Amino acid sequence: MTTQILDAFDIEKDSDSIDIAAKLLREGKTVIFPTETVYGLGANAFDESAVKNIFVAKGRPSDNPLIVHISDVKDIEPLVTEIPDILYTLAEKFWPGALTVILPKSQRIPYITSGGLDTVAIRIPQNEIAREIIKRAGVPIAAPSANLSGSPSPTTFLHCKSDMMGRVDAIINSFDSLVGVESTVLLLDKNEPRILRPGGITYEMLLQYLPNLQIDKGVLNIIADNEKASSPGMKYKHYAPNADCVLVKANTKSFCDFVKKEQQKDKNVYVICFDEDIEFIENNAISYGKVDDHTTQAHNIFAVLRQTNDIENISKIYIHAPSMNDVGLAVYNRLIRSCAFNITEL
Ligand code: AMP
Ligand code: MG
């Protein structure tokens, strides 16, 4: 397949690219576009064969549902059978933004989009170019992260190009994703509201409007093969670089002492750590931000994980675990999966 590259950095100056992307989507084609969380691989959410091409391009398991992106709250009505009042409060506070809500789906959403479920995940992205493409396409856009299934999510145009060239109809070349981790997935049903995946909009932010807010067990725990996942995406290997990774929960001193010993035994051991660790670790260390700066950690983490794929002969990567408050919970949730739940506490 030939993949068209479309530059779009500015809504007015790059209006032609936005028009082309919108037209391709309307015609049932696949287009990768920037969002503030990560880049998304989009197709018309109503069009079964277009959505099928998303799963093919990513190599994504067919029971892993897609998030449907819209550009205006009123566009939610045809997609769902019920809208709880709280949705409008949340929309006013957090949309456009990194919050995805799960509601009972209407018949207009084909089962291929919802991964066979009777619910649908919906979000309005904050990125202006994304919203303008969706608006001009005139249809809701199903879009998972634009990476090959299993690898770290793409936060730059180059990440998308490296995974998806020849696999999609077009890729938008735009700015790096601001947030850097995916949206928060929030289940709104008859039970207490529940976070199925932590993301850009934090537990602490949502708690102000949802005093009964719960965090699903699958956010921090491994899901057994015979267990049903509330969010099917949680059960798959995810966000993993090529080398084996171990997540290390420790303070600065214990972490640095530990990895230095490991590096003495094996010079091909690498470290993903905080700025504060770097001065104590002489070799093979990449920082993903300051220890308390979860916003920067979220922004950098996927790019840093991908960067390790370009280094030859890595035997193992030790990753310094972030604390789990605010967006740190989202970063931690991604990293336990990058590490296939291989966690060491010092
Ligand atoms: P991605 O599109 O790669 O950001 O992944 C979307 C995430 O949202 C996955 O973890 C899905 O399992 C989850 N998700 C999407 N739709 C639903 C749904 N209807 N019910 C539960 N989880 C969902
Ligand atoms: Mg993904």
Express each pLDDT in 112-169 by its tens digit: 999 999 999 999 999 999 999 999 999 999 999 999 998 899 999 999 999 999 999 9
* Tokens 């790019």 belong to residue: 303
- Return the residue whose CA atom lies nearest to atom 7 of ligand 1: 233
Judge contact between 100 and 186, C-beta under 8 A: yes
The Cα 311–Cα 317 span in angstroms is: 11
DSSP annotation string for 99-167: EEEEEEB-TTS-TTTTTT-SEEEEE--S-HHHHHHHHHHTS-EE--BSS-TTSPPP-SHHHHHHHHTTT
The Cα 137–Cα 160 span in angstroms is: 21
Q: What is the pLDDT of residue 236?
A: 63
What is the pLDDT averaged over residues 84-109? 97
Q: What is the pLDDT of residue 229?
A: 76
Judge contact between 110 and 140, C-beta under 8 A: no
Residue 232 has pLDDT above 80, yes or no: no
Distance 300 CA to ligand 1 centre (A): 22
The Cα 184–Cα 342 span in angstroms is: 24
Question: Does the beta carbon of 66 sit less than 6 angstroms from any atom of ligand 1?
Answer: yes
Q: Which of 12-16, 98-102, 212-216, 280-284 has the lowest mean pLDDT?
A: 280-284
Question: Does the beta carbon of 41 sit less than 6 angstroms from any atom of ligand 1?
Answer: no
Q: What is the pLDDT of residue 334?
A: 95
More confident residue, 104 or 235: 104
Work out the percent of the chain whose per-residue pLDDT is above 70. Answer: 99
What is the pLDDT averaged over residues 18-33? 98
Question: Does the beta carbon of 144 sit less than 6 angstroms from any atom of ligand 1?
Answer: yes
Q: Please confirm whether the linkage preceding 78 is cis (ω < 30° from 0).
A: no
- Return the residue whose CA atom lies nearest to atom 10 of ligand 1: 233
The Cα 199–Cα 327 span in angstroms is: 7
For residue 230, give the ligand 1 atom closest to its CA: 21
Q: What is the best residue among 32, 196, 234, 235 to mutate for testing ligand 1's pocket, by most ligand atoms within 8 Å of CB?
A: 196
Question: Does the beta carbon of 200 sit less than 6 angstroms from any atom of ligand 1?
Answer: no
Q: What is the pLDDT of residue 226?
A: 74
Digit-coded pLDDT (tens) for 258-303: 999 999 999 999 999 999 999 999 899 999 999 999 999 999 999 9
pTM of the model: 0.96
CA distances from 119 to 75, 106, 112, 145 (A): 16, 8, 12, 19
Residue 231 has pLDDT above 80, yes or no: no
Other CB atoms within a 10 A radius of the CB of residue 84 amount to 15
Distance 142 CA to ligand 2 centre (A): 12
Q: What is the pLDDT of residue 235?
A: 67
The Cα 88–Cα 324 span in angstroms is: 28
What is the pLDDT averaged over residues 224-245? 79
The Cα 46–Cα 100 span in angstroms is: 18
Judge contact between 141 and 36, C-beta under 8 A: no
Residue 22 has pLDDT above 70, yes or no: yes
What strands, in cross-sheet order, belong to the sheet with 4-7? 4-7, 170-173, 31-33, 40-44, 141-142, 67-69, 119-123, 99-104, 184-187, 194-197, 214-215
Q: What is the pLDDT of residue 160?
A: 98
Mean pLDDT of all residues belonging to the chain: 95
- Return the residue whose CA atom lies nearest to atom 21 of ligand 1: 231
Digit-coded pLDDT (tens) for 33-84: 999 999 999 999 999 999 999 999 999 989 899 999 999 999 999 999 999 9
What is the pLDDT averaged over residues 250-258? 97
Q: What is the pLDDT of residue 227?
A: 77
Record the tokens describing residue 125, joined without a space. 């992205």
Rounded (10°) angle between helices 328-338 and 294-307: 20
